[in-house]
Amino acid sequence: MSEMPPFPANDPQRGTMQSPPPNFSSGPFFQPPVQTSPPQKSRGEASVVNRTALWVLLSTLAGMAMPICLCVCLCLASFVGLSTWAGQLDTTQETGPAVGVIDLTGPIIAGDSLFSASTGYMQEQLKWMEESNDVKAIVIRANSPGGGVDPSDTIWHEVAKLRAKKPIVVSVQGMCASGCLYISSAATEIWATRSSLVGSIGVISTFFNAQELLDDLGIDVQTIATGENKDFGSMFRPLTPEEEAYWRSQSEILLTNFIQAVASRPGSTLTEDEVRQLATGRVWVASEAKDRGLVDQIGYEEDAIQRAADLAGMSSYRVQEYPFAFDFFNIFGSGFSAAEGLSEGYFDMPTTQEILDSLQQAPLQYRYFGPFDGGQNRPLDR
């Protein structure tokens, strides 16, 4: 056996087998794969990644901190509000002869809604003014297109009862239409600003008929009723001629009630026949309404207040607003009337069902459906 030649002293592959050089003539040559290192990101790309990660982190922190901040702010606002309210409850209330002012604002509806002229809310205002020994006369600040027949008649009855004890002057500021005029007819006098609209004597009912729409959609509605009039007013079919005639007769009865209320208003010179001639549903500007006997005088709220004081025989007086008017904007305001009203039990916070009910339309209405500025009237600055 022949000996292996020794490795050179400076051979880096010492102790390893050297591969023979490639033979290009013996066939195709395949280059072994070359291992490359992963590409390095540029400085700009790394900056974008870092900024994205930073924004994600900040967004997460902000999302976690926002509810906490809101809770803290709400607690602080509640603490400040309740502290001021508690301090005001300890102050001495102003006393002395007064003219009370209440609101008849928005659509007239049944129930106890605080967002409109509901029967419950109006009764509470009238009751408070009746029980106040300081209040000698009352001004009703009116701005309403009317509303339900029965709610209007109920409030009219309450105003008429109170008028027997204290003089009541209605101050129209914007609109006094239909049911609002019905209620105002129970007052001692009606005053209106010169740009107000007054009138709309009449009754209205609205029935929806979706039969053609359902037919187009291929929807067949089956109704099972125990009497021929049980589905009266159904939106799935039109009214029959007999049903329409019957409903008109009922509306005429309610119109007669309206006419009698307007004709019997204190100080009115109108007869029932004359009021019936005005029962076209039309509204008039205050001056024309006065010419037709629907308004006593043209004037502003201070004029109506002064007139109420004169009717009560007061030479000096103060103005007493209803102190528990509900308004989201005054819950944490200077007056705290809403919060105080809740604590005194003059009203409860409205439920979701009450809010939904207030949006529903009554089947019979003393209601004007023309243009109406339903903005909330505000007390005079004094």
Amino acid at 320: Q
178 catalytic per annotation: yes
- Provide the Cα torsion 143, 348, 341, 314; round to 10°: 40
Contacts of 141 (CB under 8 A, 6+ apart): 101, 102, 103, 104, 105, 171, 173, 301, 377
Separation between Cα atoms, residue 313 and residue 212, nearest integer Å: 64
Separation between Cα atoms, residue 229 and residue 207, nearest integer Å: 15
Residues of the chain by 3-state class (helix, strand, coil), percent to 5: 40, 15, 45
Residue 224: both structure tokens together: 């099972």
Catalytic residue among 113, 178, 184, 196: 178
DSSP string for residues in 96-146: SSEEEEEEEES-EESS--TTTEEHHHHHHHHHHHHH-SSEEEEEEEEEE-E
230 catalytic per annotation: yes
DSSP 280: S
Catalytic residue among 41, 161, 165, 230: 230
Separation between Cα atoms, residue 71 and residue 9, nearest integer Å: 81
Is the separation of the CB atoms in 98 and 136 below 8 Å?
yes
Q: Classify 298 as helix, strand or coil.
A: strand
Which string of b and e fits 257-266 if b means at least 16 CB within 10 Å? ebbebbbebe
Catalytically active residues are 178, 230
